[in-house]
A and B are shown apart, each in its own frame.
Chain A
Amino acid sequence: MKKTYTLAMLSMMLAAMTVWPQGMTSGTSLLKRVDSLVSFVDTDVSAEYRIDKRDPGGSTSTTVAAMFRRDRTNQFLILILEPIADKGKGYLKEGDNLWLYDPVSKSFTFTSAKERFQNSSFRNSDFNRFNFSEDYRISSTTREQLGKFDCSVLDLSANNDRVSFPRVKLWISEEGLVRKMEDYSLSGQLMRTTAIPSYQKLGDRWLPLTMVIIDNLKFRTIAGKIEYERTTVTVSKPSLKRLPDSTYTKEYLEKVSR
């Protein structure tokens, strides 16, 4: 009996060893495809981002910003258009480093510590292209139906401490686009859920059209119903116009602020 049990265990382990690495390999190549589909490495990309935040309880706020992104040098510049009181306030990111310009104090702050964009669930790092294949390793892969999308579901663990979340779960549709993302803390606490129901194709690359972000840590019970902070991001009028190097500088931020 013991011998039969041992043989059964061995055969199960062998089966797992043969299937698991293939899943990992295909998952890794899928992650690389996910990253490449949203990377504009041969030109600049700019667009208008509208960020509508609804707090638990119903109060809302809107931020409109212009985003300029250069993926080949890992840079982006964000300039606020609305609210009017914040127009000219700006963010410049170079690699992992973020410069904030405050037009009131006329001073720059250099930080990587600031994460939330305009106090919404949208993070500064969300303006970046995806870089899952370099920042994470795959823990497991499964398949799941997400509404009309047949998705590969990948559990990822970070391989560095530069990322915002140490664990991420991705739902990737057959086109290689991330449709849903859950961000977890190291202890497994669900921190944030992002849904990207639709994309827009620009040239041979993709940008999200709308994103809905739920902050799973910010909620209130209102009339017996739990409400979360909900941020909706709409990306419109994308442009592939090439921009001069000086656009991605502190001096440019300083010049355009009012």
Chain B
Amino acid sequence: MTRRCGGLLLAALLASLVSVSAQDAPPPDNVDSLFDTPPTDTVVVDSGIDYRSLYDTEEKIKTSGYFKAMGGAAVGYVRWPTLDDLGNGFASSIGAYAEAVAAFDMRPSSVAHIRGEFSTSFTPATSPFSWDNFAVDELYCDYTVQDTVFVRIGQFLSTWGQGRLFTPGDLLSDSADGFSMRLSMPTVLNGISAYAFGSGHVESYGDLSYAAKTDAIVLDTFLSAALRYRYADGYKGLVSIKKVAWKTDLFIDMTGNYQQDLGYYEGVAGFFREWDDLKLYGEYYLKGDEHGLTDQQFGVAIGQKNIAGTPIDVGIRWLHSIADGSGTVLAALSWNPWKYVTASIGLPYMYGTIGSYYGLISAVTNDEDIQVQSLDGYRFGLIGSLLLKVPF
């Protein structure tokens, strides 16, 4: 049934893609009438406007935020049913989640900027009915020195690497929850940045991580090299290459990890292509050490916005582990019937043995709360959710 629905979705997607080309080309819109009595070419004076001020200083302080509430239900099988017992492994669950986020953005001068974002949330099924789960999502200060050096201090998110499905190149993935300092010189090459940050338990300088990265564009090819060091983790290096060919992004991220005579390497190679409302990307991931390859995976994802001119988006993602033959396929559809409201349907399908890479969740839990929140908990099933998100 799931395969059939997936097939129908794919058929609808393909049908929408070919609908334009299948039609006979109509006569072109005639713009020539615009030239019969056009406005006269004019001579204007230099307005002298510094448009940067619209962003740098015009609004000294701005506040924003949103409230989000989501409810959903899921039905499906967490284990494959047998013919003589179709109820075996059947599961159903409902869940809800609410979150409120508030942010402020201050620009006291053209060279200084302070931003903070705070959130609170609760999940009725797993927590008391109260907004006591408070978190600082980000809080940082920017300062620009002589238009050449850019400094950011505080708690903020930084992302390195190019992978969308597999992200071994994100050497800063654990920096978002701690204190960080970043110093950048954007006009040297295509940018040089240095970081010092604390992640996890930090008691001394030895617990801090240090990282640096430089970018360059050579012969229309993007090149990047980065290095990170932490006493407990050793060295991690990253080399990234990206080239655009046939209007398609082609990229490679290669990382090496070395600590106390032990090392391993990871890599991801991928492509990304975007048409008007259609995105397609695929990635291949590998991991190995001195004994050879220890893991290989690949993933493909396709997304189409506004199917046939409707406010409905469709996406399909397939992740597969070559090492153990497990994988997941997720087809999802989202619809914006009204402003602030999004309805979604997901069709997860998971294959592979219990205990395999993608079969791990089924193997270790029958916890309904985890199943509600994780589509991957189902062998196959159907999940629907309704999201209300109101900005303020």
Which A residues form the contact surface with B (CB < 8 A)?
46, 48, 55, 57, 66, 68, 79, 81, 85, 88, 94-97, 105-107, 110-116, 119, 146-149, 161, 175, 177, 179-180, 189-190, 193, 195, 197-203, 206, 209-210, 212, 214, 216-221, 226, 228, 230, 237-241, 243-247, 249-252, 255-256, 258
Contact = CB atoms under 8 A, between A and B. Distances in A.
Which of B32, B34, B35, B36 is most buried by chain A, counting CB atoms within 10 A of its CB? Answer: B35
Contacts of B162: 110
A180 B35 contact: yes
Contacts of B191: 249-251
A4 to B, nearest CB: 43
Nearest to A147: B35
A177 B31 CA distance: 17
A214 B28 contact: yes
Contact of A88 (B55, B222, B249): B55
B276 interface: yes
Contacts of A112: 244, 247, 249
A111 B51 contact: no
8 contacts: A95-B217, A148-B35, A190-B25, A202-B46, A244-B147, A246-B148, A249-B191, A256-B55
A44 B156 CA distance: 33
Nearest to B242: A110
Nearest to B306: A119
B356 to A, nearest CB: 30
Nearest to A194: B31
Nearest to A67: B51
Which of B34, B222, B248, B274 is most buried by chain A, counting CB atoms within 10 A of its CB? Answer: B34
Interface residues of B, number: 66
B48 A241 contact: yes
A79 B55 contact: yes
Contacts of B247: 112-113, 115
Nearest to A97: B217
Given A147-B36, A226-B27, A255 B41 contact: no
A238 B42 CA distance: 13
Interface string B100-123: 000001000000010100000000
A114 B26 contact: no
A193 B275 CA distance: 19
A56 to B, nearest CB: 8
Given A88-B55, A149-B35, A193-B31, A251 B184 contact: yes
A210 B34 CA distance: 11
A112 B248 CA distance: 8
B288 to A, nearest CB: 27
Contacts of B204: none
A94 B190 contact: yes
A228 B261 CA distance: 64
Interface of B: 20, 25-29, 31-44, 46-52, 54-56, 62, 64, 105, 113, 115, 142, 144, 147-148, 150, 156-159, 162, 184, 186-187, 190-191, 217, 220, 222, 242, 244, 246-249, 272-274, 276-277, 309, 391
Which of A81, A106, A255 is most buried by chain B, counting CB atoms within 10 A of its CB? Answer: A255
Nearest to B159: A107
A201 B34 contact: no
A216 B113 CA distance: 44
A255 B150 contact: yes
Given A245-B147, A249-B191, A251-B191, A219 B26 contact: yes
A33 to B, nearest CB: 16
A179 to B, nearest CB: 7
Contacts of B142: 255
A123 B391 CA distance: 30
A109 B150 CA distance: 20
B266 to A, nearest CB: 20
Contact of B31 (A48, A180, A203): A180
Contacts of A97: 217, 220, 222, 244
3 smallest beta-carbon distances between A and B, as pairs:
A147-B35, A197-B38, A249-B186
A241 B186 contact: no
A205 to B, nearest CB: 11
B35 A179 contact: yes
Contact of A209 (B32, B39, B246): B39
Contacts of A226: 26-27, 29
A119 B55 CA distance: 23
A119 B36 contact: no
A68 B51 contact: yes
A27 B31 CA distance: 24
B31 A198 contact: no
Contacts of B150: 246, 251, 255
Contact of B29 (A46, A95, A119, A193): A193
Nearest to B187: A245
Nearest to A48: B51
Contacts of B39: 197-198, 209-210
A123 to B, nearest CB: 11
Given A113-B247, A209-B39, A228 B29 contact: yes
Nearest to A256: B55
Contact of A201 (B31, B44, B148, B248): B44
Given A112-B244, A189-B25, 9 more contacts: A97-B220, A106-B159, A147-B37, A226-B27, A241-B49, A241-B50, A246-B186, A250-B186, A255-B142
